[in-house]
Amino acid sequence: MNENRTNMKKGAAILFTIFALLFFVLFARFLFIQISGKADGHSLKNEALQKYLRTDVLEANRGTIYDQHGTVIAEDTTSFTLAAILDPSMTTNPKNPKHVTDPEKTAEVLAKYIDMEKGDIEKQLKKKGLFQVEFGKYGRDLSNKVKKEIEEEKLPGIFFLRDSKRFYPNGKFASHLVGFVQKLEEKKGNQVVQRIIGQMGIEKTYEDYLRGTNGKIQYKSDLWGYLLQDKKQMIQEPDDGDNIYLTIDTKIQTFMEDALNEVEKQYKPGKAFALVADAKTGEILAMGQRPSFHPDTRVGLGENWSNDLVEYSFEPGSTMKIFTLAAAIEEGVFHPNEKYKSGRYKVGSESIRDHNGGEGWGDITYLEGVQRSSNVAMANLLEKMSPDVFRQYLDDFHFGQKTGIQLPNEAKGVILYNWPLEQVTTAFGQGTTTTPMQLVQAATAIANDGKMMRPFIIDRIVDDKTNKAIVNNKPEKVGEPISKETAEQAREVLKTVTTAEHGTGQIYQIQGYEVAGKTGTAQMPNPQGGYLQGANNYIFSFLGMAPAKDPQLIVYAAVAQPKLDGEAGSVPVSKIFNPVMRNSLQYLNIKPKQTPTAKTIKLKDFKNERTTEAVKELKANKIQPIVIGTGKEVAGQSPEADSPLLQGEKVILQTDGTATMPDMENWSLRDVMKAANLVGLKVSYTGEGYVVGQNIKPGASLKNGQKLILKLMKQKEKALLEQKEKERQKEEAEKAKKEIEASAETAEKKEAEENLETQEE
């Protein structure tokens, strides 16, 4: 019994000692923590601070891209992301629910505002075990207007997360030049951070300038993350990106976009692109291409991420003849009135042909050769100045070199000039390749009295804080390949390409302005070798400047593989060049050429006068007399006496005796009605423009009340039809020639076989 009691006391003593030691250890630990403020090497003060210290990112705004006048092309705007709370525990007052209570009704309402089916929205809202859900790309980048409209529906559990997005207010507008941005996720430690990164064009190339530096805000909060009263916030302000001003003029760019849209819609080309430059400074005022895309949605981007104006090099075709001509003038070997034999030019065993199948136009002047875009004319000029001399001019015009426009992936082209045939073909734009930007740079020497200007697209880059320019580009002369006198003479010659009877560029005439330029038709290489065949497989182009005497603008337009319906390849190109050049000149207030005012004459009464005297007097006053009939005296006239007339107008004189039908080809409808009213004809017509056909043959006798049926056509349409007819006749002649040659060859073969049989016998 006593022994048990003793054991119990020992046990109790041991337990007491153990608990005392534990208490001492705990107390010592507590005392240590209290004094040092540390536990396991961690500062408890810092741990507590971190628990209640919140850090939020203050996003920097990306720099804005403007045109040269300060019109926004790309900017950051506030956007919103739609989200829904599904957790019922968020609702403490059933009368004011904070979560989605009716998924079906909520889905029905939201489907009116976002591009998502009601059923898909409802499926999202019925997901189990989630605190909140979002709606992917359909619920992102919502405008403030859409946000407010949804908020007015007062849907329980629906809220918005504030965000920013890149906004391109003009839509499809110089898209390959400006580029676009994309939100990319980056992992930093345990955090996933979203960053907006430029993916193309200016947005990518000038990322370092446009991208800002995010700031941050730190503050002490309560358990739920709310800012504690009287607690200081620690703010590190964000540094916004710098602003970029392009040389692009929004108005001129819009002219170009409209024209490209029209050509794309009507002709569905493989490619189309255009470029407008200030002829004096090299500033790029507009540049665009098709196919293109919308930078907000990237719809239409496809596989072509290239800016064709600087990255696409191709054989330029006859636009290269501008620079061959300029070199020949500078070397003193171009004599406009000197004649040469057109058609073919021998280079070793090869033969260079003019574009009409090598038929040519006989012995013509070099001026007419330029107007007709003769390859043989260029070959002769190359021979006169020597290939080595022209090779130096290619370098002087900076072909085969990058322009340095500071856009990504600029191509430099290839000068193919090793063999005599390559040297000749380069002179008229085949073999050697260039970019549109190189052609425009070289053209500034022609337009700017010999001074060649480097093209540039960045006007200035401005610091967002100081508003001072940190990059400020100025016009830069990069060479002077020709003299002022040569440039002036070249422009005079190139002006005739659009005005002369045989000029290939007549379709590029612009009323009120003289245009100097050159057409181009370039073959497209076949990936399997050689060139693609067929009427549509060309790059049709025009490089022009206006006003021709003192050019202010250079416009290059090109259309590759258009779907032509019997039209010439120059037609779709003219639908870009003409409206862009005309509208741009008018917008820049470049006044059209003053045309001399024609002298007005009051018409006298010629009735009962001798016909020959009336005709003589009208011609003396530069009025065009049209005599109807074979009588010796004038019986009637139109217009009536005392009518005011301009020099060059027609006056119809009806003689006594039988009236006869005049040849009305190229008459205006107004002149037709003068004659018809005078002799009593009833007129009907189809089309518009000028007379190209009449049912009554010239010289036929006319009766009062007789019906005259006319066909009218515009001059440009007529010229195109004539060109098409010439091409048809040429093809038929070639076909007939080949048939004759084949027939002769067959006959010779048959005769040889007969002779052989005779010899054998």
What pLDDT digit, counting tens, does each position of 211-263 carry? 877 766 655 544 444 444 444 556 667 788 999 999 999 999 999 999 999 99
Q: In the prediction, which pLDDT does 160 show?
A: 86
Q: In the prediction, which pLDDT does 138 show?
A: 86
Half-sphere exposure of 42 (CA within 13 A, CB side): 9
Q: Alpha helix locations (H) across 179-227?
A: 201-205, 207-210
Give the CATH architecture of domain 250-587. Answer: 3-Layer(aba) Sandwich (3.40)
Cα–Cα dist 223/53, whole Å: 10
Q: Is 221 exposed, middle or buried (0-12, 13-18, 19+ CB in 10 A)?
A: middle
Cα–Cα nearest to 603, from 646, 634, 636, 633: 646
Cα–Cα dist 639/645, whole Å: 9
Q: Which helix (H) or strand (E) holds 75?
A: strand 72-85
Whether the model clears a pTM of 0.85, i.e. scores above it, the answer is no
Q: Does residue 363 surpass a pLDDT of 50?
A: yes
b/e code 74-92 from CB counts within 10 Å (16+ = b): bbbeebbbbebbbeeeebe
Q: Does residue 757 surpass a pLDDT of 60?
A: no
What's the mean per-residue pLDDT of the chain? Answer: 85
The lowest-confidence range among 136-140, 344-348, 411-415 is 136-140
Q: In the prediction, which pLDDT does 231 show?
A: 47
Q: In the prediction, which pLDDT does 645 show?
A: 76
Give per-residue pLDDT as tens, 711-725: 887 766 666 666 666
Fold equal for 55-244 and 600-716: no
Cβ–Cβ under 8 Å, residues 44 and 126: no
Encoded tokens for 699? 């010289």
Cα–Cα dist 79/61, whole Å: 13
Q: In the prediction, which pLDDT does 225 show?
A: 45
Q: Which helix (H) or strand (E) holds 52?
A: helix 44-52
What lies within 8 Å, CB to CB, of 224 at 6+ separation is none
- Residue 318 appears among annotated catalytic residues: yes
Q: Does residue 546 surpass a pLDDT of 60?
A: yes
Report the top-level CATH class of 55-244: alpha beta
Q: Does residue 27 surpass a pLDDT of 80?
A: no
Cα–Cα dist 245/405, whole Å: 15
Regarding the domain delimited by 600-716, which CATH topology (the fold level of the hierarchy) does it fall under? Trypsin Inhibitor V; Chain A (3.30.10)
Cα–Cα dist 560/272, whole Å: 6
3-state DSSP assignment of residue 336: coil
What lies within 8 Å, CB to CB, of 419 at 6+ separation is none
427 vs 598, higher pLDDT: 427
Cβ–Cβ under 8 Å, residues 228 and 220: yes
Cα–Cα nearest to 211, from 195, 225, 222, 223: 195
Considering just the CA atoms, what is the radius of gyration of the chain in Å? 41
**β-strands 624-628, 650-655 pairing:** parallel
Cα–Cα dist 70/197, whole Å: 23
DSSP 8-state assignment for residue 90: G
Q: Does residue 146 surpass a pLDDT of 70?
A: yes
Work out the pLDDT band at 162, boundaries 50, 70, 90: confident
In residues, how long is the chain? 761
**What's the whole-number mean pLDDT along residues 259-279?**
96
Domain boundaries, the chain: 2-53, 55-244, 250-587, 600-716
**What's the whole-number mean pLDDT along residues 597-626?**
83
Cα–Cα dist 306/408, whole Å: 9
Q: Does residue 601 surpass a pLDDT of 70?
A: yes
Q: Which helix (H) or strand (E) holds 349?
A: none
Q: Which of 292, 313, 318, 374 is catalytic?
A: 318
Q: Does residue 49 surpass a pLDDT of 50?
A: no
Q: In the prediction, which pLDDT does 40 show?
A: 60
Sign of CA dihedral 677, 680, 682, 685: negative
The lowest-confidence range among 437-446, 502-511, 743-752 is 743-752
